[in-house]
Amino acid sequence: MTGKSKASPGRPRKPDPVAPPAFPVLRKFGPHRTEMRLLGPADRDTLLKFFRSHTRETIHLRYGYELSHMTEERAAELVGVDQTRDAAIGIFEHDQEVPLVAIGRYCLKPGGTSAEVAFVVREDRRRLGIATALLSALLAIAASRGLETLDAQVLRENQPMLEIFFGLGGVKSAIPGTGEVTVTIDIRKALRNLGRRRQH
């Protein structure tokens, strides 16, 4: 007996005793005061404005293809997810014309033990630790719900995103015939790695 519990295949395991973040979370990134909280239906127009502020490069890296327009319906879906199953988190700066400056989300995959994550951070708010904070919040939510892994589909050339995942123990596998890789993160291992970092 190792004392480690094993989940039955295809079922979420017993949730880890990890508390999900107590939203709203107020935090400074560099000089910028922010609020991190779950997105909701009232954020639709803010999300549309945020999308319109993205450069082509950002859209390409986030979605993997050119996307020149986002419909109101799509934006409503993206902010109106079932937050007890999926997770969609926004980081807001309330003194900005477009107050939304970053989004991290996950979408539960069939089987219920894994979810697919994605992030976008405003171009002039990068390298401040925002994506890492969003990933950390998503990991805590996922662990508290008993998920085992988070996956991301990342363009091979997206070094910033790959660095973040590899830094937490992510493992990549090729998606044949595409320019993307899948990175799989073991949630427990990633939370341990984050905990170790905080101690240093």
Residue ranges in contact with ligand COA by CB under 6 A: 58, 61-62, 118-121, 126-132, 152, 154, 158-161, 163-164
Closest-CA residue to 132 (of 181, 89, 78, 172): 89
Closest CB 127 distance from ligand COA, rounded Å = 4
Closest CB 4 distance from ligand COA, rounded Å = 30
Closest CB 136 distance from ligand COA, rounded Å = 9
Indicate the residue among 118 and 139 with the shorter CB distance to ligand COA: 118
CA angle 149, 23, 111 (to 5 degrees): 25
Question: Tokens for 42?
Answer: 């009232």
Contacts of 78 (CB under 8 A, 6+ apart): 39, 47, 88, 105
CA angle 130, 63, 175 (to 5 degrees): 105
Indicate the residue among 11 and 197 with the shorter CB distance to ligand COA: 197
Closest CB 104 distance from ligand COA, rounded Å = 8
**Alpha-carbon torsion (93, 140, 126, 121), positive or negative:** negative
Closest CB 18 distance from ligand COA, rounded Å = 20
Indicate the residue among 118 and 142 with the shorter CB distance to ligand COA: 118
Residue type, 130: I
Indicate the residue among 6 and 196 with the shorter CB distance to ligand COA: 196
* Contact between residue 118 and residue 62 where contact means Cβ atoms under 8 Å apart: yes
The C-alpha atoms of residue 45 and residue 41 are separated, in whole angstroms, by: 9
Indicate the residue among 100 and 128 with the shorter CB distance to ligand COA: 128
